[in-house]
Amino acid sequence: MSDPFFHPVSGFDLPRFAGVPTFMRLPYVPPEHARFGDVEVGLIGVPWDSGTTNRPGPRHGPRQLRDASTMIRAQHPTSGMRPFETVNCADLGDVGPNPADIPDSMERITAFYDKVMGAGIVPLTGGGDHLTSLPVLRSVAKEGPVGMVHFDSHTDLFHSYFGGTMYTHGTPFRRAVEEGLLDPKKVVQIGLRGTMYDTEDRDFAKANGIRLILVEEFHERGVADVMAEAREIAGSGPTYVSYDIDFVDPTFAPGTGTPEVGGPNSYQALQVVRELEGLNIVGADMVEVSPPFDPSGGTAFLGVSIMFELLCVMAGQMKGAGA
């Protein structure tokens, strides 16, 4: 049973439209807080989109995600998991980026996550564009390479953009493999689709043993079969989960910078996370929610619903490990 200090505010006690929004109405526990060391899962905002190459906006994602998350309640509808009563969860606040300097922002992000990892906290991130994952992985994988289950329309495995720019939201996992943060043979990317510049990214994946599951294969085989393979690829070792909201078809998640048609629906978006049960998840993120393209907040609500699904899997894993 978790410490009641870390339980969220109930909608029965304070209306969901009232109060200062934190992720899932959890207590705000920044690194300088006296209870920081008691947190087991930390929800973190990274309001940064300097790696975006076309339509910006994910820098506003964490704020909209937090606001939408006031609708998250205490119990999972099918598993019965009550994550906030299982492990100590808190909103650790935002990493303050430098919007004019990509390298400095990445250093700031990694330094923040070093504090989180040093305290033994498992991070669950709301981004931010997908370049956010790289500085997070630099902290999460500091002790050695991890596997990854990656939900996305795009591989994000390109070498560079615009004649030599190495750090964009299309390159984070190429850098992560090169830096030894990811074990490519334990990486699976699911839902890939859309028109292409060329095959450079897929060629890199093939040469390094990264498993690519295109959306056609995803739809043909179904969620359960695809995710069984994903669990087999990741194995029992430490695994990072990266979830780009553009994995979901834009009919259900229009609020993103690089939408691609033909994707999974919102129910399948939840199903794939439920099928992660049993993995050793050492960190996860939800990225590329872009409020300017969906001011209604529907995309953000789907995003935080997916984050709740991730939290339930992580809490179950930690409970099973005796955390």
| Residue set of the binding site for Mn(2+) | 130, 152, 154, 156, 244, 246
Between helix 223-234 and helix 266-274 the angle, nearest 10°, is: 40
**Contact in structure between 78 and 275 (CB atoms under 8 Å):** no
Cα separations (Å) of 218 from 159, 230, 316? 26, 11, 26
**Contact in structure between 131 and 50 (CB atoms under 8 Å):** yes
**Contact in structure between 218 and 226 (CB atoms under 8 Å):** yes
* Amino acid of residue 78: T
CA–chain centroid gap for 7, Å, is 22
Query: Encoding tokens for residue 4?
Result: 């009641």
How far apart CA 160 and CA 29 sit, in angstroms, is 37
* Amino acid of residue 61: G
* Residue numbering of the annotated binding site: 130, 152, 154, 156, 244, 246
**Contact in structure between 180 and 220 (CB atoms under 8 Å):** no
Neighbours of 93 (CB within 10 A): 20
Q: Which run of H or of E encompasses 186?
A: strand 182-192
Give Cβ neighbours of residue 90 (< 8 Å, ≥ 6 apart). Answer: 6, 26, 27, 28, 29, 35, 39, 41, 42, 43
How much is the CA Rg of the chain, to the nearest whole Å? 18
How far apart CA 205 and CA 185 sit, in angstroms, is 10
